[in-house]
Chain A
Amino acid sequence: MKYLIKNGRVIDTSIGLNKNLDILIEDGVITEISDFIDESKADKVYDVKNCIVAPGFVDLHAHLREPGGERAETIETGTMAAMNGGFTHVCAMPNTSPCMDNSAIISLVLDKAKSANYAEVLPVGAVSKNREGKELASIGSMVQKGIVGISDDGYPVSTSDLVRKALEYCIPFDIPLMEHAEDLTLTKKAVMNEGFYSTKLGLRGMPSIAEDIIVARDIIVNSYVKGWLHIQHLSTEYSLNLVREAKNRGERVTCEVTPHHLFLNDSYLESFDTNYIMKPPLRNEKDRLALIEGIKDGTIDAIATDHAPHPNEHKNCEIDIAAFGIIGFETALPVILDLLYHKHGVSLDRIVDLMSVNPAKIVKLEEGRIMEGKKADITVFNPDKEVVINPEYFKSKARNTPFKGLKLKGCPVLTVFGDRVFECKVGD
């Protein structure tokens, strides 16, 4: 099949591209890019006038739940949902059951992803065996299978000693230690951010310092061993400042934030809706605004969804026993465009950096993915089209989203990955 993507504005900041171009794709490979390509050359033409054509989005943080959690999501439904949201690559977190702590499970995940043939899965291996925080998992063997980082996500790396060893051990592989920063002694049985709203609602609070303490610990260790630290789902102003200072000192620290931490704050918990329950928790307005500043000043490297599907019964219950997390693949782009591009004036170049180019660098995808001869790896989005989010269209098995029914400006249109062309629809 030959596809022509016509009349779009192509933005690939990794090679300084920002231009109206037509792109011809034959059998999954980009064969021509030029100012004008005749429609007769293609079997199917996508006229994407007023749309942005970007290198495929890369999500550094997702839970695909397979193996073990197939009631919530499978690799097939998860990677399909990813493509419906504009992602061609997703990092799968290792907190599956059994846990992704050895090369056999990594192979299983990759095989499943390959046969699903939607978005590519980039596995993240566990830091410690069974994520127990005691002994290092077989990181080297997993690297040989293709892991792009290590994380005990869901938990922080247990001790300073293990952080040190994990950072050191990864130096020859040049992969990051991806940290879920949460001091568990400060978050026992807690449900939401600690602050006025947790006090008012009588819900146990997770103080922001629970995150900050672990971020500080890790940055200190990382500066000592000269490793590569990546902070996952950063959510507080203080932690952001720590990362900014580390970067200014020239230390190798990267970080991601989620769309929901940018868009929502802890006041939404007043509804007692369990779709506002996640870790880290939605923080206060001051933290939220600080994160938006971090987007603007470049401290934040990437947007990551932390896509966390759950079966309905784990959310349709009392708030203090509800599962943490929300799905994110299919709402990330509308939320980001509406908030950052339309409300905060962040440029489309910067948004392409955050959703695609920067995370691609972290997982070491080649630069310049929109070039002749390359495998088609493209996300097309319309930054100005309004959409009312409707989970009925979601490809994810799960429906745990707080964004249902929300009208947002901007949406994904088309995701092309190899010979797979996916027409995106996330609302009306």
Chain B
Amino acid sequence: MKKFKHRHLLGIEPLSKEDITQILDTAKIFKGICKGTNKKFPALKGKLILNLFMENSTRTRSSFEIAEKRLGADTLNFSASASSLSKGESFYDTIKTLESMEPHIVVIRHSSPGSSRFLAEHIDASVVNAGDGAHEHPTQALLDAYTIREALGTLEGLNIVIAGDIRHSRVVRSNIWLLKKMGNNVILSGPPTLIPVDIEKMGVKVDYDFDRAIKDADVVMMLRIQRERMVESFFPSLQEFNMLYGLTKKRMQTLKKGAIVMHPGPINRGVEINSEVADSGRSVILEQVSNGIYTRMAILFLLAGGKINEISN
């Protein structure tokens, strides 16, 4: 197998179909290893990975940490709040400080779109984007793809509905890039106030009628609704949101046989997804969490220059 072609993982947009498949295939091997008795595969022994989280995140950071530890890397969590220009250390100075610690890989979560690219341009290390504002969240899209492929046996020609707060979601943008590159139909649904302009030009369809949108879906992916969006008047109330765009038990019953339900978490029960759905057999939400570890192991391993045949024999 070839070496991975990219030095950084800043987004799904720059990846090819082959790159994506390479990551997913590598993740599958790691899943096999992790299901065994010895869960460690110390391919990154002696490498320093910095987790730079400038925006709150518990689950993504934990997932990366587990992945890093299983690969035997030295890890350091560096939490800093995204600074304004007037107070605190600038992002640039933070980067230069981190560079002096000579990390091999930096994993970054930041509220500003393009921040992982800014980091990559100013540091001599591989950069993994763990979410940059509403721009991209590539590891989430990759773990989602892994989960779909595992659950449905394919990642091509599927009807995939993504619903809810499309406007503010980095998950949806990365998923659109990935799912389109792999040859799927992507339909977005949600209140028009939460659908950004011209998103159809990314190759997706928009259907404001959620009931109609999910009729032929193989996958329904719900996005988290943040309460502050209600305060900003994107919609009038959580109840009304649930009535129009929540994945309720009644709506679940209209899904095709075999269709799965996904959510990047954390979920708001009774808002975008109801308990009967989240806890149902169609839900693969918890599988997404475990697959996140294997996918992130694969990404870190490949960025560090690892080759798949080193682990597959």
Contact = CB atoms under 8 A, between A and B. Distances in A.
Interface of A: 194-196, 198-203, 205, 207, 272, 313-314, 316-321, 323
A320 B135 CA distance: 12
Contact of A205 (B84, B90, B115, B197): B197
B112 A320 contact: yes
B110 interface: yes
Contacts of B306: none
Interface string B127-142: 0000011111000000
A318 B114 CA distance: 7
A45 to B, nearest CB: 49
Interface of B: 82, 84-85, 90-92, 110-115, 117-118, 132-136, 170, 173, 196-199, 201-202
A313 B92 contact: yes
Contacts of A203: 113-114, 133-135
Contacts of B82: 318
A194 B197 contact: yes
Nearest to B133: A202
B200 to A, nearest CB: 9
Contacts of A200: 173, 201-202
A308 B113 CA distance: 24
B24 to A, nearest CB: 24
A195 B197 CA distance: 6
B264 to A, nearest CB: 15
B198 A318 contact: no
A157 to B, nearest CB: 26
Contact of B173 (A202, A314, A320): A202
Contact of A199 (B90, B112, B199): B199
Given A201-B113, A202-B113, A321 B84 contact: yes
B90 A319 contact: no
A199 B198 contact: yes
A124 B111 CA distance: 38
29 contacts: A195-B198, A196-B197, A198-B197, A199-B196, A199-B198, A200-B173, A201-B114, A202-B113, A203-B114, A203-B133, A203-B134, A205-B197, A272-B113, A272-B118, A314-B85, A316-B92, A317-B85, A317-B92, A318-B82, A318-B91, A318-B110, A318-B114, A318-B118, A319-B113, A319-B114, A319-B118, A320-B111, A321-B84, A321-B85
Contacts of B135: 201-203
A113 to B, nearest CB: 29
A111 B17 CA distance: 64
A97 to B, nearest CB: 14
Nearest to A273: B114
B197 A199 contact: yes
Given A316-B90, A317-B85, A319-B118, 13 more contacts: A196-B197, A196-B198, A199-B198, A199-B199, A201-B135, A202-B136, A203-B113, A203-B133, A207-B197, A317-B91, A318-B115, A320-B111, A321-B84
Contacts of B198: 195-196, 199
Contacts of B199: 199
B112 A321 contact: yes
B85 A320 contact: no
A313 B93 CA distance: 10
Contacts of A316: 90, 92
Nearest to B132: A202
Which of A205, A317, A318 has most B Cβ within 10 Å? A318
Nearest to B198: A196
Contact of A272 (B91, B110, B114, B134): B114
A272 B122 CA distance: 14
Contacts of B117: 272
A271 to B, nearest CB: 9
A285 B186 CA distance: 27
A199 B113 CA distance: 11
A317 to B, nearest CB: 6
Contacts of A317: 85, 90-92
A198 B114 contact: no
Given A272-B118, A313-B85, A320 B91 contact: no
B170 A202 contact: yes
Which of A196, A199, A314 has most B Cβ within 10 Å? A199
Nearest to A314: B85
Contacts of A198: 196-197
B128 to A, nearest CB: 17
A319 B173 contact: no
B91 to A, nearest CB: 6
Nearest to B112: A318
Nearest to B114: A272
Contacts of B196: 198-199, 205
Q: Which 5 A/B pairs are nearest by Cβ-Cβ distance?
A: A202-B134, A272-B114, A202-B135, A318-B112, A196-B198
Contacts of B201: 196, 199-200
Given A196-B201, A198-B196, A320 B92 contact: no
A196 B114 CA distance: 16
B253 to A, nearest CB: 33
Which of A194, A195, A198, A317 has most B Cβ within 10 Å? A317
Given A199-B198, A202-B135, A313-B92, A320 B113 contact: yes
Contact of B112 (A207, A313, A319): A319
Contacts of B112: 318-321
Which of B82, B113, B173, B196 has most A Cβ within 10 Å? B113
